[in-house]
Amino acid sequence: MRAADLIDEAFLAYNGGRLREAARLLTERMLPKDGFIGMSLTGALTPAGLGKSCLIPWMKAGFVDWIVSTGANLYHDLHYGLDLSLHQGSPFLDDVELHRSGVIRIYDVIFDYNVLLDTDAFVRSVVQGPEFQRPLGTDEFHYLLGKYVDARAKALNLKDTSVLATAYRYGIPIFTSSPGDSSIGMNVAAMSLRDHQMSFDINRDVNQTAAIVYEAKSSGHTSSVFILGGGSPKNFMLQTEPQIQEVMGIQEKGHDYFLQCTDARPDTGGLSGATPAEAVSWGKVDPETLPDCVVAYVDSTVSLPLLTAYCLSRSPKRKHKRLYDRRDELMDKIREAYLNVGTVSKITTSRKVAKRSSSVGLKKKQKS
């Protein structure tokens, strides 16, 4: 039985039923009509091999247009692009003995400590390049880093091993919401002590992600979010709508479709477990499409392979939007919309002040 048939015919209730709803939401609502899809990545997905097995096929098929990821996922993705070895292990190994032997463990994934050192050396070598000696949005930083990973992979005769290299080839912007919270950021910080001029332009990231969503909605497309896990990347992806509506004052209704695969509970009050219904109250999700939003309480290492197989089986490949190539254009559009809102606001305020002034003057004359 094909994986897609298994989901349609056997995943009938409970969390299995929610996963089937997720699969159909993707193929019937999110992917059709060239809708914009953002994906957020939380948890150690790339060390588990999900970059090569799922994320890269997803990207090659044109099923994702922009990504927000933890820095850790991108750092560990570099191991694959540099042909460094990770191994299947066990969660029950003696960690004291592993430390003595120079072995790192991520639950049941193990690798040599030198993998970290070699990856660190690669990052430090790359960021010394002249194109890095200035403030960069994380999307531009990852694009440039992906270019070097792609070149290294070609030199090593590797194919489709790195998410960063694949994003570079297809013009898929990748942001990270906390660039200092990973080994990539740690290496960049260390290089700043050697008077290297690179820094992360967080303001650009906030406005650039909002510009992508604004482009989707203003051009008549849907804007969908596919959230794996939760955490900071989830919020960074969803806050695009409050940035557009609340902060910039641009009229909008929220993301059209929301899909999350998580093991986080909503009753603890954490953002990771916050439901799409709660997101509606913030303006993050369009209330009119709330019935189509899905939360599947399934671990990403289980849900992502199944959903990837389902979408590749049920949906045609899509043309790549190459949003990275349009980053300046999209930024100019949202800047213009924001400045126009400010101009209208000033005109409206001036008219109200003038009206109040004339009314006060009239009252004074009547009194006199």
What is the signed CA dihedral for 214, 169, 204, 195, rounded to 10 degrees? Answer: 180
The CA–CA distances, whole Å, from 359 to 97, 165, 257, 349, 368 equal 83, 65, 48, 15, 14
Q: Are 30 and 215 in contact (CB under 8 A)?
A: no
Distance CA 114, CA 99 (A): 12
Distance CA 129, CA 225 (A): 34
Known catalytic membership, residue 365 = no
Q: Are 213 and 223 in contact (CB under 8 A)?
A: yes
Of 151, 156, 160, 154, nearest to 77 (Cα)?
160
Of 1, 7, 142, nearest to 77 (Cα)?
142
Distance CA 23, CA 5 (A): 11
Distance CA 282, CA 269 (A): 15
**Inter-axis angle of helices 163-170 and 71-81, nearest 10:** 90
Q: Are 171 and 201 in contact (CB under 8 A)?
A: no
Query: If you compute the radius of gyration of the chain from its CA atoms, what whole number of angstroms results?
Result: 23
Catalytic residue among 33, 52, 147, 284: 284
In order, the DSSP letters of 42-90 are -SSTTTTTHIIIIIHHHHHTT--SEEEE-HHHHHHHHHHHTT---EE--
Of 20, 17, 26, 7, nearest to 225 (Cα)?
26
| CA atoms 150, 54, 136, 322: torsion sign | positive
Q: Which residues are catalytic, by number?
A: 284
